[in-house]
Structure 1
Amino acid sequence: MWLAKVVERGMCPPSLVQPTEIRRLRDLTRYRRALVQDRTRQQQRVEKLLEVPQIKISSVLSDLHGVSRRAMMQALIARERDPRTLAPKSGARKKTDQLEEALPGFFTDHHATILKMMLDNSDQIGAQRTARDALIADATSPSPDTRPASLIVCM
């Protein structure tokens, strides 16, 4: 109440309250940013989990979360432990020798269970981000009843 009187007397400029559409878009983009950060954290956890059993894939491959790298991790989950079988699944043909050196480790079923949970969580976060992207696209697309700025006549 006292703040309204201060603004009324001109002692403080009034606050700007954004329109509803802008507030909704801001909420969606903030949540999308949080999802991106969560997925990045999850991907870093996957990398750290692979380093615990002395599997140093990240020293050879820059991106662990591509489609072919994902196939290699799925093979690890499916109890494939032979580096000669795993290395070609990475899709990095020129680095198979380096991968064969980086892959031997003591990856157990315990690690496979945790890796599967982490990859599933990462997929779920990715699906949520895709859904938010669609909502943001809908919120930013012009509605049919709005006129282009070129048709607005300024006086």
Structure 2
Amino acid sequence: MALKIVYPICCGIDVHKTFVVACIASTIKGVTTYKRHRFSTYTKGLNQLSQCLYENNCSDVCMEFIKYWMPIFNILEDSCNITLAHPKYVKAIRGKKTDKKDAKWIADLFKHDLVAGSFMPPPCIRQLRELMRYRFKLTNFMSSEKNRLQNCLTVSNIQLGNVVSDTFGISSINIIEKLLENPLDTSFDLQHLIHGSMKKKLPELELANDGFITPEQAEKLRVFKQHS
């Protein structure tokens, strides 16, 4: 029993870092013909790919979901229905492997609708995802750097974290900045550096501030301050 042709005109794209190989499969009365083209992954080349698909009346495209997919997807998204397939589902048959065979194999699988596509959200959701991932990355980076600063204070036996609820509050930062002016002198007056309810903790802060900051730890604190 012959498999049903779901996409009479479709394209399989074998994706690489610097080029793509597109194989357009056109099926008429059960007979499939193939047109293969190679394009660069520069914007000019991808626009040529889009034009080639348009000229061949091909709007259904299948390609592997590998790390180089995004620029191709961005160019073709508005003019084509794109199916992104996990590489393991479009693995070429055993034998001599070539880019042309890979593209043809993808097209053959796709024309029979034998490829399970990955979910791809609309552009606005993808942009939001990118922003949230970047924000998450920056948040983790900042948390890591704050931990480094706290470690510098702990090593120097500056125990501000034992007295204040937020080591990065206004009063604590004022004390740290004062410490960095002269790391060898921790006996300065704290009265004018602290604010509000912190004044009630002045005796504890004076005890917590009685440490010794080495030049190495002081330099680490300065680097954090410069980039925070």
TM category (shorter chain) comes to 0.5 to 0.7
Which secondary structure does the structure 1 equivalent of 2:189 belong to?
A: helix
How many residue pairs align between the two structures? Answer: 122
Query: Is 2:189 the partner of 1:85?
Result: yes
Once superposed, what is the RMSD of the aligned Cα atoms? 2.4
Say if 1:58 and 1:64, in contact at 8 Å, map to a contact too. yes
Query: Is 2:216 the partner of 1:113?
Result: no
The letter for the 2-side match of 1:108 is T
Partner of 2:167: 64
The letter for the 2-side match of 1:69 is S
Q: Which structure shows the higher helix fraction?
A: 1
Following superposition, the deviation at residue 101 of structure 1 comes to: 0.9
Distance 1:78 1:18 in 2: 52
Q: Which structure shows the higher strand fraction?
A: 2
The letter for the 1-side match of 2:147 is Q
- Structure whose alpha-carbon radius of gyration is higher: 2
Distance 2:191 2:115 in 1: 66
Which of 86, 99, 120 aligns to 1:17? It is 120
Which of 129, 136, 140 aligns to 1:37? It is 140
Partner of 1:103: 209
Which secondary structure does the structure 2 equivalent of 1:85 belong to?
A: coil
Distance 1:71 1:4 in 2: 65
C-alpha offsets along residues 73-117 of structure 1, whole Å, 9 cap, x if unaligned? 111111163445136524311111011111111113332222110
Runs of 4+ displaced beyond 3 Å: 1-14
Which of 30, 37, 55 aligns to 2:158? It is 55
Following superposition, the deviation at residue 62 of structure 1 comes to: 1.5
Following superposition, the deviation at residue 70 of structure 1 comes to: 1.1
CA separation of 1:89 and 1:4: change in aligned 2, threshold 3 A: farther
C-alpha offsets along residues 51-87 of structure 1, whole Å, 9 cap, x if unaligned? 1111111111120111222111111111163445136
CA separation of 1:87 and 1:11: change in aligned 2, threshold 3 A: farther
Name the structure, 1 or 2, with higher relative contact order (CA <8 Å, separation 6+): 1
Distance 1:109 1:43 in 2: 19
The letter for the 1-side match of 2:156 is P
Gaps of 5+ in 2: 1-11, 13-89, 91-105
Distance 1:111 1:14 in 2: 53
Structure-2-length-normalised TM-score = 0.47
CA separation of 1:48 and 1:10: change in aligned 2, threshold 3 A: same
Gaps of 5+ in 1: 124-155
Which secondary structure does the structure 1 equivalent of 2:119 belong to?
A: coil
